[in-house]
């Protein structure tokens, strides 16, 4: 035969990284997975320590309070509670409190995960564990898109990003959303390996869970990367079948969402957002709406300034390092770029934005995929440098991986060092919640049976909130029994002129409602 034979590369391997030769790669391949597992465990431990030492295992932001309360309600086998007596004394931001309902306003996905933590008495541990799963899941996904060494560098960059591990120490839902999304894509990328149908169903289930946790983030982040993975991994005739199987797996979380909304709010299609604020929309809320063009213009400038500051300490123009990925482009770059870019692009059009726990929190999920792209940029730079200086052939293979690893470690160290002042500030308090909420009550000598009215207006250690809007009562809300009337100590907001009403509703042997000095002093 005189013609050329074209050999098709295996579809399950989206790309190969040419930095290492097959011999050296083979000698190290067995180490990457154990190293990734150790990294994931270390990341979970770090987040758990920060959750206790920085934040005292306490929800500190209005969103966190709502998530934690709903998780506690779920752990009791309920979808909502009847309002307590003198309901205004237990009001919290982002919590629905009507004549017949007391529950969180957010989708039920993350509260469902927190419910497991409440049942075990450690709700603060849920996010750290999910962070560990996210780190290992990122390595697993990166190994499907690239080679294990690049994937390990990406996982390390993500695990050492303060924006990520501070979120993981909190009660915010972004880490849960990211974990579900990463594992969804990772299982999709397994291709037609053994047991592909169960893995596709699991991928769909996790994609549905990502939607159940943060619907908008899932819509912005998952569809395009998911289609790209199916296109790259599955043969033409199997793509539609694989997509259908994954979609079938996502129906269960969707059904749970519709059920909880029907039972809680009277209609499968009425969300907690609509109950809390009927004017809530993509472009605004009860405080007003704006034109999409105005929102986009303002957000482009705002995210352009805030997002690079929340990423790695790389000198030079923001995000310029992304261009280094193009030195040796891979198909897997499309998946990572579509996930990161899709999420950020979607929120550029959303009316609300804020910086919490180290960065613009709506962009948190994108940082994992930026980490993979940065790892690719580092590896490409190491390869280009090795080729340019004409490193001796005998030493060519080990040089780029060592340089890439050293560069990655330096980036991680520089980033953490840069963020040390912010981390120390978080250690004092955040948004008006003291680290030791019981210090004032203990100092006042409050007995085991008491009605304690929380009344103070000076969150001296708050990072950003003022005295007027600091949700300082939230530190005490979870000191109550789920039904406050059944607990021994009752912590309630001090409602001026309604002290007698509160004392009548919650009679306790050691009532201290008459004290004018705040029992919840900021001395923690």
Q: What is the pLDDT of residue 29?
A: 55
Q: What is the pLDDT of residue 447?
A: 80
Helix axes 174-188, 364-388, angle to 10 degrees: 60
Cα(464)–Cα(175) distance, integer angstroms: 23
| Nearest-angstrom CA–CA distance, 341 and 419 | 25
DSSP-H helix ranges across 160-271: 162-168, 174-188, 196-213, 215-221, 223-233, 236-249, 251-265
CA distance 456 to 437: 12
Q: What is the DSSP string of 233-264?
A: HS-HHHHHHHHHHHHHHTHHHHHHHHHHHHHH
The pLDDT value given to residue 196: 83
Going by C-alpha positions, the residue among 50, 221, 83 that lies closest to residue 141 is: 221
How far does CA 307 lie from the centroid of its chain?
15
Burial of 423 per CB tally in 10 Å (0-12, 13-18, 19+)? middle
DSSP-based three-state secondary structure for 115: helix
Cβ-in-10-Å burial (0-12, 13-18, 19+) of 461 comes to middle
pLDDT of residue 427: 74
**Which H or E element spans position 102?**
strand 102-104
Cα–chain center distance at 397: 37
Strands 450-454 and 433-434: unpaired
pTM here? 0.89
Range list of β-strands (E), 470-510: 489-493
Distance CA 471, CA 58 (A): 13
Say how far apart CA 392 and CA 308 lie, in whole Å: 37
What single-letter DSSP state applies at residue 100? S
**Is the four-CA dihedral 168, 469, 464, 318 of positive or negative sign?**
positive
Considering only CA atoms, which of 433, 321, 309, 402 is closest in space to residue 360?
309
Length of the chain: 524
Predicted pLDDT at 56? 87
Residue by residue, DSSP assigns 318-372 as TTGGGGGGGGS--HHHHHHHHHHHHHHHHHTTSS---EETTEEGGGHHHHHHHHH
Cα separation, 433 vs 422, in Å, equals 16
- For each successive 10 residues of the chain (524 residues), what is the average pLDDT? 44 41 46 95 97 89 93 97 93 90 96 97 97 98 95 97 96 98 96 80 97 97 96 91 95 97 96 94 92 97 96 92 93 96 97 93 97 96 80 57 91 94 78 71 78 68 43 81 92 88 85 47 37
Residue among 177, 175, 159 at smallest CA distance from 167: 175
pLDDT score for 398? 61
107: left (phi over 0), alpha (psi -120 to 50) or beta: beta
Identify the sign of the CA torsion 297, 298, 299, 301: positive
Record the tokens describing residue 307, joined without a space: 């997002």
């Amino acid at each position: 035969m005189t013609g050329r034979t074209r050999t098709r590369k295996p579809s399950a391997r989206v790309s190969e990284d040419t930095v290492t030769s097959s011999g050296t790669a083979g000698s190290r391949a067995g180490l990457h997975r154990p190293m990734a597992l150790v990294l994931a465990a270390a990341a979970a431990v770090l987040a758990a320590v920060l959750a206790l030492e920085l934040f005292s295992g306490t929800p500190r932001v209005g969103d966190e309070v709502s998530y934690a309360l709903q998780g506690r309600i779920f752990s009791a086998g309920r979808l909502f509670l009847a309002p307590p007596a003198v309901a205004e004394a237990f009001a919290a931001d982002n919590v629905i409190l009507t004549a017949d309902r007391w529950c969180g306003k957010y989708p039920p996905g993350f509260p469902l995960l927190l419910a497991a933590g409440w049942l075990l008495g450690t709700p603060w541990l849920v996010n750290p564990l999910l962070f560990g799963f996210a780190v290992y899941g990122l390595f697993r996904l990166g190994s499907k898109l690239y080679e294990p060494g690049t994937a390990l560098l990406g996982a390390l960059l993500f695990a050492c990003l303060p924006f990520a591990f501070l979120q993981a120490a909190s009660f915010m839902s972004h880490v849960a959303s990211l974990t579900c999304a990463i594992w969804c894509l990772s299982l999709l990328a397994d291709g037609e390996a053994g047991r592909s149908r169960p893995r596709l169903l699991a991928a769909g289930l996790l994609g549905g869970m990502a939607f159940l946790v943060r619907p908008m983030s899932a819509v912005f982040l998952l569809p395009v990367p998911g289609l790209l993975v199916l296109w790259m991994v599955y043969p033409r005739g199997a793509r539609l079948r694989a997509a259908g199987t994954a979609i079938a797996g996502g129906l269960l979380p969707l059904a749970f969402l519709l059920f909880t909304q029907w039972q809680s709010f009277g209609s499968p299609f009425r969300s907690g957002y609509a109950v809390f604020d009927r004017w809530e929309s993509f472009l605004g809320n009860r405080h007003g709406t704006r034109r999409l063009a105005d929102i986009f213009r303002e957000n482009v400038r705002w995210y352009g300034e805030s997002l690079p500051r929340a990423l790695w300490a790389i000198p030079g123009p923001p995000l310029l390092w992304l261009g280094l990925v193009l030195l040796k482009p891979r198909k897997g770059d499309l998946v990572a770029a579509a996930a990161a870019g899709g999420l950020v692009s979607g929120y550029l059009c959303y009316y609300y934005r804020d910086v919490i726990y180290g960065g613009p929190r709506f962009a948190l999920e994108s940082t994992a995929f930026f980490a993979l792209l940065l790892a690719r940029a580092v590896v490409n730079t190491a390869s280009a440098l090795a080729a340019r200086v004409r490193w001796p052939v005998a030493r060519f293979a080990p040089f780029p991986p060592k340089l890439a690893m050293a560069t990655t470690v330096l980036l991680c160290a520089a980033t953490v060092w840069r963020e040390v002042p912010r981390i120390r500030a978080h250690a004092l308090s955040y948004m008006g919640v003291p680290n030791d909420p019981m210090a004032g009550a203990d100092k006042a000598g409050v007995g085991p049976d008491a009605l304690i009215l929380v009344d103070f207006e000076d969150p001296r250690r708050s990072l950003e909130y003022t005295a007027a809007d600091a949700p300082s009562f939230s530190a005490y809300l979870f000191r109550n029994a789920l039904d406050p009337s059944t607990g021994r100590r009752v912590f309630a907001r001090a409602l001026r002129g309604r002290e007698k009403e509160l004392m009548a509703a919650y009679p306790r042997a050691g009532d201290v409602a008459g004290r004018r000095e705040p029992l919840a002093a900021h001395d923690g």
